[in-house]
Structure 1
């Protein structure tokens, strides 16, 4: 099958979970014999694909969804979206938009773009059941239009990693680790730094290592210089061997995001023998169950308590066993089955009529 992967140009700039999901899904499907092309615009494509898979319901891709449908190509969207607001609150926001659009005032434009993308697409592939329920309830999408495709983890890579490169780079191990976008407000890095600076001396916490993209003029740069216990490593390419080594040398991994769906970095950390403190918001509990320490991302005391408990706890052996079956190869098999279902049992026009 010829498949086109489409995503926002921003995906490749961040090197975050979405780029990892796209890359690993591509590899898994190619191993199953499919041909994959990756682009950031339908204008650069000759429309020879049998199916188009969009990664991220990004507003800047809305026109590309329309272009794909105009050429009668089935469009799947891995939505990768969540909100701490209830479905009813999101519905009210959409209703306000309908009332205000006539006076030229755009209310929640990104939310409305995501709404339109989800309705236009042939099929949706959220990462978790929680994400799927929110989309159905907030946007009025039929559950039949949704197939949950979980995130995966490269089992061989992270299960057998070594700490050597990380120790050579940092000069120490057994640290508290965060891996992800440092600039995105949703990731809550500012709050993490405030909690760490306030608590690490009193509670005798190990050094904090932050790994991720951060512009030279970003306000966080100054804060990173204020405490010698805080160390920053710039973001690396997804296949850089330093990444798995950084996980392996850590004692505890923390992900204090406002929400996650469900957090590929935390899955990689769990396979790398880290104890984990992670946000309770989003789809995290579907993957991590009772094997991690959950935190309220809007409560500094909760963040501090979860980190301290994780630092005081051994890695979860049962979580390790659970993550071992979530290899990207299995994600590829599930994605392939979804494609066949869409191509054989559904038509674009049938979906458009069912959403009308």
Structure 2
């Protein structure tokens, strides 16, 4: 089976979780008998593939998807979208609904997300299918926290946030929450997707904030950062559910995670939850997670069938979806 992967043109300028997911699919699907090609606009080769899988529903994506359906090729769309009746006014709902209607199957990362998408866009529930996110097996393997602390000369307690710096990731609220604990540093790792927003975070945080830039996803320093952190905090305004949080959890790092999105379907009662617009809630969740830091590192089993997630097993569901369309 041959599958062509495509996404919007700017996606890999500042890659985030969606792009890591795409590359993980590409890496692990061959073990399921799926040959993956990345779309090349100079040599598209559409008709050489059994399926086209498009990642994202960023504005304009519907035109590419419509062309695929005109060619008569089965289309799968990965949504990576958390939307509700209360927030749908923030999105081009008509265009996204058109894109989803074109798709033979829309892949979401949780049953919760599937239910929300079907309801908001008034589309049949059976159009949506869950493929849970996975974690690279290396994040489950122990690594010395000293590697990270020594590399960046970090000695005291710190809260870690890994992700693109932008309003949706909500780092500014995290900066404000941690002002109540000035002895605790905030370490930020990721691209500056919104430079003005990033500048506001750095200015308000002052010396309490350490911005380390981007670390490669396969870097041992990133794994060491999860091992070294006192708490990993994901205060996003929405998550589906956040690969960095899954990686931190796999490493056994105590975590404070947004309650908005599909996080509870993944983490169950193994993390502390926060409301992203409430500074006090963010601080309380961090303090709750900090209280567990002196104990042994938490279990890295998730609430999904009480097991560890890895890409190899997670993608069995995607292979089943592909087979049903060919």
The answer to whether TM tops 0.5 is yes
- Whether the 8 Å CA contact 1:181–1:214 is kept in 2: the answer is yes
Q: Which runs of 5+ in 1 are unaligned?
A: 94-107, 344-356
Partner-residue secondary structure (3-state), 2:181? helix
Q: How many angstroms apart in 2 are the aligned matches of 1:37 and 1:149?
A: 20
Q: Are 1:161 and 2:143 counterparts?
A: yes
Q: Are 1:200 and 2:178 counterparts?
A: no
After TM superposition, give the deviation of residue 109 of structure 1 in Å: 6.2
Relative to 1, partners in 2 of residues 1:228 and 1:163: Cα closer, same or farther, differing over 3 Å?
same
Give the equivalent residue in structure 1 for 2:279: 300
Q: How many angstroms apart in 2 are the aligned matches of 1:74 and 1:153?
A: 28
Aligned pairs, number: 319
Matching residue within 127, 130, 140 for 2:122: 140
Relative to 1, partners in 2 of residues 1:217 and 1:26: Cα closer, same or farther, differing over 3 Å?
closer
After TM superposition, give the deviation of residue 319 of structure 1 in Å: 3.7
Give the equivalent residue in structure 2 for 1:211: 189
Give the equivalent residue in structure 1 for 2:106: 124
RMSD between aligned alpha carbons?
2.3
Give the equivalent residue in structure 2 for 1:326: 309
Q: How many angstroms apart in 2 are the aligned matches of 1:318 and 1:109?
A: 35
Q: How many angstroms apart in 2 are the aligned matches of 1:296 and 1:157?
A: 27
Give the equivalent residue in structure 2 for 1:280: 259
Partner-residue secondary structure (3-state), 2:199? helix
After TM superposition, give the deviation of residue 3 of structure 1 in Å: 0.7
Give the equivalent residue in structure 2 for 1:102: none
Give the equivalent residue in structure 2 for 1:56: 56
- Whether the 8 Å CA contact 2:250–2:300 is kept in 1: the answer is no
Q: How many angstroms apart in 1 are the aligned matches of 2:302 and 2:144?
A: 16
Give the equivalent residue in structure 1 for 2:202: 224
TM-score normalised per structure 2: 0.90
Q: How many angstroms apart in 2 are the aligned matches of 1:321 and 1:138?
A: 26
Q: How many angstroms apart in 1 are the aligned matches of 2:121 and 2:303?
A: 36
Q: Which runs of 5+ in 2 are unaligned?
A: none
Give the equivalent residue in structure 2 for 1:181: 164
Partner-residue secondary structure (3-state), 1:131? helix
Give the equivalent residue in structure 1 for 2:76: 76
Which structure has the bigger radius of gyration?
A: 1
Relative to 1, partners in 2 of residues 1:40 and 1:111: Cα closer, same or farther, differing over 3 Å?
farther
Relative to 1, partners in 2 of residues 1:139 and 1:44: Cα closer, same or farther, differing over 3 Å?
farther
Partner-residue secondary structure (3-state), 1:13? coil
After TM superposition, give the deviation of residue 25 of structure 1 in Å: 1.1
After TM superposition, give the deviation of residue 13 of structure 1 in Å: 1.9
- Whether the 8 Å CA contact 1:25–1:331 is kept in 2: the answer is no
- Whether the 8 Å CA contact 1:84–1:281 is kept in 2: the answer is no
Q: How many angstroms apart in 2 are the aligned matches of 1:321 and 1:260?
A: 16
- Whether the 8 Å CA contact 1:55–1:78 is kept in 2: the answer is yes
- Whether the 8 Å CA contact 1:162–1:245 is kept in 2: the answer is yes
- Whether the 8 Å CA contact 1:126–1:147 is kept in 2: the answer is yes
Say which structure is richer in helix: 1
Relative to 1, partners in 2 of residues 1:295 and 1:37: Cα closer, same or farther, differing over 3 Å?
same
TM-score normalised per structure 1: 0.83
Superposed CA deviations along residues 163-202 of structure 1, whole A, max 9, x for unmatched, are 243123211265210000112x1111111112222x113x
Partner-residue secondary structure (3-state), 1:169? helix
- Whether the 8 Å CA contact 1:3–1:37 is kept in 2: the answer is yes
Q: How many angstroms apart in 2 are the aligned matches of 1:52 and 1:233?
A: 37
Q: Are 1:20 and 2:20 counterparts?
A: yes
- Whether the 8 Å CA contact 1:15–1:236 is kept in 2: the answer is no
Partner-residue secondary structure (3-state), 2:38? strand
